[in-house]
């Protein structure tokens, strides 16, 4: 095996026991690229905010995907999620962002890419709830106005819907 070989995960085409490995490799790659390109916090306060936000975003996404979207009682759970869970989560996240330009202060960070993705999911899921938070609306506009992001969003490589083509329900309210 040469030094240029990349590790390959060989497993069945299911999540199973290989999923934690896939997740670890993807998070490691994201953090490595962020460090390499200056997209990480540089002071203790920013590092703490970065770590807290990364885990909070993962918790919210996990709750949405596994606790709601793929549940057989989706229609019933959606009502409670929209009335109770989503507003509470967005309130907390909105306070965390505050009037800052980006989540870890005024410099974009790799967690802003994660934050944008989750907020896009939530904007698609419940635009009426999302739009109550002007700091999120401004944040999304700011992110989408970045030249490289703007170009990507016009490209055919962009996957338009955050939920993908395999979800068979109407997730818009």
**pLDDT tens for residues 61-100?**
888 888 888 788 888 999 999 999 999 999 999 999 999 9
**Closest C-alpha to 91, from 136, 46, 143, 139:** 136
Q: How far is CA 135 from the centre of its chain?
A: 17
pLDDT tens for each residue of 97-116? 999 999 988 889 999 999 99
* pLDDT score at 163: 59
pTM, two decimal places: 0.80
Which helix (H) or strand (E) segment holds residue 77: the answer is: helix 74-80
Question: What percent of the chain is predicted at pLDDT more than 70?
Answer: 83
- Look at domain 18-154 and name its CATH class: mainly alpha
pLDDT tens for each residue of 31-57? 888 899 999 998 999 999 999 999 999
Q: Delimit the domains of the chain by residue range.
A: 18-154
């Amino acid at each position: 095996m040469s030094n240029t070989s990349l590790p390959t995960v060989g497993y069945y085409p299911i999540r199973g026991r290989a999923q934690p490995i896939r997740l670890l490799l993807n998070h490691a790659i994201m953090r490595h690229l962020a460090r390499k390109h200056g997209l990480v916090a540089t002071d203790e306060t920013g590092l703490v905010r970065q770590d807290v936000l990364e885990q909070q975003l993962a918790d919210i996404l996990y709750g949405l995907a596994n606790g709601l979207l793929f549940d057989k009682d989706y229609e019933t759970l959606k009502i409670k999620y929209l009335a109770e869970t989503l507003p509470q989560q967005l309130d907390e996240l909105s306070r965390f962002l505050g009037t800052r330009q980006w989540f870890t202060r005024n410099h974009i960070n790799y967690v802003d890419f994660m934050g944008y993705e989750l907020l896009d999911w939530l904007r698609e899921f419940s635009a009426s709830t999302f739009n109550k938070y002007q700091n999120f609306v401004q944040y999304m506009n700011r992110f989408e106005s970045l030249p490289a992001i703007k170009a990507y969003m016009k490209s055919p490589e962009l996957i338009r819907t955050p939920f993908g083509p395999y979800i068979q329900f109407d997730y818009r309210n």
